Amino acid sequence: MGILEKMEGRNEINFGNATILALGKAFPHQLVMQEFLVDGYFKNTNCDDPELKQRLTRLCKTTTVKTRYVVMSEEILKKYPELAVEGLPTVKQRLDICNAAVTEMAIEASQSCIKKWGRPISDITHVVYVSSSEARLPGGDLYLAKGLGLNPETKRVMLYFAGCSGGVAGLRVAKDIAENNPGSRVLLATSETTIIGFKPPSVDRPYDLVGVALFGDGAGAMIIGSNPIRDIERPLFELHTAIQHFLPDTEKIIDGRLTEEGISFKLERELPQIIEDNIEDFCDKLINMSGIKDREYNKLFWAVHPGGPAILNRLEKKLDLSPDKLSASRRALADYGNASSNTIVYVLEYMLEEKKDITDWGLILAFGPGITFEGILTKNLTI
């Protein structure tokens, strides 16, 4: 018996299981075309090292990114020229910019999501806020709630510095809240900007160029709740089973530190290989927890956070997926870059657009610092 036959109730919603009821997104105004990024970056940082420039040019081609939105602009660099200077303590300036920017984008994405949801904003009972781009007390969850005009009794949860797995981690937390609080409606918001880690190129930090070529800014939002109200709410996905797993002794593979110069990230070369070596066992564990004993991967849809083309390529090869299975992830990567925790929202939106390729059941996956694997077995409710 195959997976689609094993999991009965094709488009029926299981009572009590959390569902994604709406999606929303927002971006800063600055759109960067990948073909112009290299010249602009080296001009803005007053660097003329031909070897570094050639290396970044190669990376920009291999990332498969075509466009990205960023908060950084010439106006910001004119106001804060020290951001482009090596070794200066600029964390205060960066946080001033980032804290305001991520709040603005999170509010805009949430408003878009709530409008699509169709219910009053006063019906939101909980907020889960995710970001690796700010640091302050009170946190961005409060400023988001205030900016939206939420009831002061709205319950808030904040996830900081979960990196690329933050969006799916937040979705897992929102699922638990929705399923354990009958009638609740959870707003999940993610918001990220690369200004917190913007630096001039350096021969001592060649790995920084990967981030320059790959990462983008933006925000995402979802409304999650159980037992959708018929004729009012239009559920998109049912969240069936969620798991998290970290790989022991891999803490330094994705290494980030908050310093006086902002956040410094270092990604080790073996990251794609480590994910490839462990992805099959993780997916099998997630599927088996739901009572499924077979492994018909190509009968599932795959909403995978696009950490980079190497990760997607290795996952596709390891699981013997047909090329169309990761099309939404590749499209999100091309259009928005790796926007950290936000990107899974963009992937899910593209999956809904590409209805010809989406099946009944699938996996939502992301990989972040730890190395941490996040996965949710999910049912498509739109077909």
By annotation, the residues acting in catalysis are 164
- Distances from the Cα of 257 to the Cαs of 89, 185, 250, 342, in angstroms? 14, 34, 16, 21
- Distances from the Cα of 38 to the Cαs of 47, 86, 186, 248, 373, in angstroms? 11, 18, 40, 37, 32
Give the three-state DSSP class for 87: coil
Q: Which residue has the tokens 């949710």?
A: 376
Q: How far apart are CA 51 and CA 345, in angstroms?
A: 36
Q: How far apart are CA 362 and CA 372, in angstroms?
A: 20
Q: Which amino acid is at 345?
A: V
The closest of 255, 185, 266 to 227, measured between CA atoms, is 185
Task: Compute the C-alpha angle 227/228/232, nearest 5°.
Answer: 155
Query: Based on the number of CB atoms within 10 Å of its own CB, is 187 exposed (0-12), middle (13-18) or buried (19 or more)?
Result: buried
Q: How far apart are CA 332 and CA 28, in angstroms?
A: 16
Go through 265-295 and write b for each residue having 16 or more CB atoms within 10 A of its CB, e for each that does not.
Answer: bebeeebbebbbebbeebbeebbeeeebeeb
Q: Which residues contact 380 (CB under 8 A, 6 or more apart)?
A: 236, 237, 301, 358, 359, 360, 361, 362
The closest of 380, 339, 360, 379 to 167, measured between CA atoms, is 339
